[in-house]
C-alpha cells in the first residue's frame, strides 16, 4: 500500500514576515481542520497580485493544495501544486510541490501522470526516498492494471471465439437438420408416387349432364329395339305350299 507520505503533504515554511493567515492555516492543518485551513490560505493569497516567483506565494499555494487534498479535491490540489511549482524560488521547494502533485494525480486515478510526476521529483531530488518508494509503487500498480486489462481482453477474445465456435456448430447442426428434412420429404414424395402407381385407377366420375345423356341414349336404343320386335310380331309369315 502506498505510504501516506503523499498525504502528509509538505507545508511551506514562512519567515518572520510571513502573513498571519499563512501561520493560521498551518495551525488549522495540524488540527485536521482542512476546510478552515484552505480558507485561511486563500485569505493570505489575496494579498498577492503578481505571478512573479515568490517563496511565500509559492508556499501558500502549496499549502492550499495540501488542504484541498485532505478534503478529497484532488483535481483542485493538483492545480494548486502546479501553481506552487511555477512560483517556487528554489529547486527544493519546486521538488516538494512536484512530489505532492504526484500524490494528487494518483488519488485522481491518473496513474501515468502520477508516475511522471514522481519521476520528475526524483530527478530534482534524487535523495527523496519517499518519492522513490511511491514511484515504484505506482509503477507496479500500472503494470498490474495493464496485466488486468490484457487478461480481460484475452478473456473477451476467448469468450468471443467460444461464441463463434458455438454458433458455427449450431449452424452445422441446423444445416444437417435441413438436409435430413429434405431427404425425408423426398422419400415421402417417392413413397406417395409408388402408392399411386400401385393403386387401380378409379373411373372418372361422370357429371350429371353426361349421365343423363347416356341414360337417354340407352332408353332410345331400348325403344328402337322394342319397335323392331313389335314389327317382327305383326309381320305375316309366308306360308309355303306343300305340294
| Higher-confidence position of 182 and 159 | 182
- Joined grid coordinates for residue 2: 502506498
Average pLDDT on 144-153 reads 84
* Residues 130 and 7: beta-carbon distance below 8 Å: no
Q: Is the pTM of this model over 0.85?
A: no
Domains belonging to the chain, first-starting first, are 4-145 (1.25.40.10)
CB atoms within 10 A of CB 201: 7
* Residues 105 and 80: beta-carbon distance below 8 Å: no
Encode pLDDT of 24-35 as tens digits: 898 999 999 999
**Per-residue model confidence (pLDDT) at position 17:** 42
Average pLDDT on 48-55 reads 86
| CA dist., res. 139 & res. 136, Å (int) | 5
Determine which of 2-6, 19-23, 66-70, 169-173 has the lowest per-residue pLDDT on average. Answer: 2-6
pLDDT above 50 (res 209): yes
Helix (H, G, I), strand (E, B) or coil at 241: coil
CB atoms within 10 A of CB 228: 10
Q: What percentage of residues in the chain have a pLDDT greater than 70?
A: 81
Average pLDDT on 157-168 reads 79
Instruction: Kindly indicate the confidence band of residue 195, based on its pLDDT and cuts at 50, 70 and 90.
Output: confident
Cβ burial of 50 (10 Å; 0-12, 13-18, 19+) is exposed
Average pLDDT, the chain: 82
* Residues 94 and 55: beta-carbon distance below 8 Å: no
- Joined grid coordinates for residue 201: 385407377
| CA dist., res. 237 & res. 235, Å (int) | 6
| CA dist., res. 217 & res. 212, Å (int) | 9
| CA dist., res. 62 & res. 19, Å (int) | 15
**Per-residue model confidence (pLDDT) at position 9:** 42
Amino acid at each position: 500500500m502506498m505510504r501516506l507520505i503523499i498525504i502528509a503533504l509538505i507545508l511551506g515554511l514562512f519567515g518572520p514576515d510571513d502573513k498571519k493567515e499563512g501561520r493560521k492555516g498551518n495551525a488549522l492543518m495540524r488540527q485536521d481542520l482542512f476546510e478552515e485551513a484552505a480558507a485561511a490560505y486563500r485569505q493570505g493569497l489575496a494579498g498577492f497580485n503578481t505571478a512573479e516567483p515568490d517563496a511565500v506565494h509559492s508556499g501558500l499555494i502549496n499549502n492550499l493544495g495540501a488542504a484541498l487534498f485532505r478534503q478529497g479535491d484532488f483535481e483542485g490540489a493538483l492545480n494548486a501544486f502546479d501553481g506552487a511549482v511555477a512560483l517556487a524560488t528554489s529547486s527544493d521547494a519546486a521538488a516538494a510541490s512536484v512530489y505532492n502533485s504526484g500524490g494528487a494525480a494518483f488519488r485522481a486515478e491518473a496513474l501515468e501522470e502520477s508516475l511522471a510526476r514522481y519521476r520528475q521529483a526524483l530527478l530534482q531530488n534524487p535523495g527523496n526516498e519517499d518519492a522513490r518508494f511511491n514511484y515504484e509503487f505506482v509503477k507496479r500498480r500500472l503494470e498490474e492494471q495493464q496485466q488486468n486489462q490484457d487478461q480481460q481482453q484475452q478473456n473477451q477474445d476467448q469468450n468471443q471465439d467460444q461464441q463463434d465456435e458455438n454458433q458455427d456448430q449450431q449452424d452445422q447442426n441446423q444445416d444437417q437438420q435441413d438436409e435430413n428434412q429434405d431427404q425425408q420429404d423426398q422419400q415421402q414424395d417417392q413413397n406417395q408416387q409408388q402408392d399411386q402407381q400401385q393403386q387401380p385407377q378409379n373411373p372418372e366420375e361422370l357429371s350429371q349432364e353426361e349421365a343423363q345423356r347416356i341414360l337417354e341414349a340407352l332408353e332410345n336404343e331400348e325403344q328402337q329395339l322394342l319397335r323392331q320386335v313389335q314389327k317382327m310380331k305383326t309381320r305375316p309369315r309366308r306360308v309355303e305350299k306343300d305340294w
